[in-house]
Chain A
Amino acid sequence: GQQVMQIPQYQHVQEGEDFTTYCNSSTTLSNIQWYKQRPGGHPVFLIQLVKSGEVKKQKRLTFQFGEAKKNSSLHITATQTTDVGTYFCAGRGTSYGKLTFGQGTILTVHP
Chain B
Amino acid sequence: DAGITQSPRHKVTETGTPVTLRCHQTENHRYMYWYRQDPGHGLRLIHYSYGVKDTDKGEVSDGYSVSRSKTEDFLLTLESATSSQTSVYFCAISDTSGRAGAGELFFGEGSRLTVL
- Which A residues form the contact surface with B (CB < 8 A)? 1, 6, 9, 30-31, 33, 35, 41-45, 48, 88, 90, 92, 96-104
Contacts and interface: CB of A to CB of B under 8 A. Distances in A.
B98 A31 contact: yes
Contacts of A44: 107
Contacts, number: 58
Nearest to A44: B107
B42 A98 contact: no
A103 B42 contact: yes
Contacts of B40: 9, 103
Interface in B21-58: 35, 40-45, 48, 58
B78 interface: no
Contacts of A42: 90, 107-110
Mostly helix, strand, loop or mixed at chain B's interface? loop
Interface size class of B (residues with CB under 8 A): 20 to 34
A98 B58 contact: yes
B98 A92 contact: yes
A77 B70 CA distance: 45
A60 B116 CA distance: 44
Contacts of B41: 103
Given A42-B90, A45-B105, A48-B102, A98 B110 contact: no
Contacts of B59: 1, 100
Contacts of A48: 102-104
B99 A88 contact: no
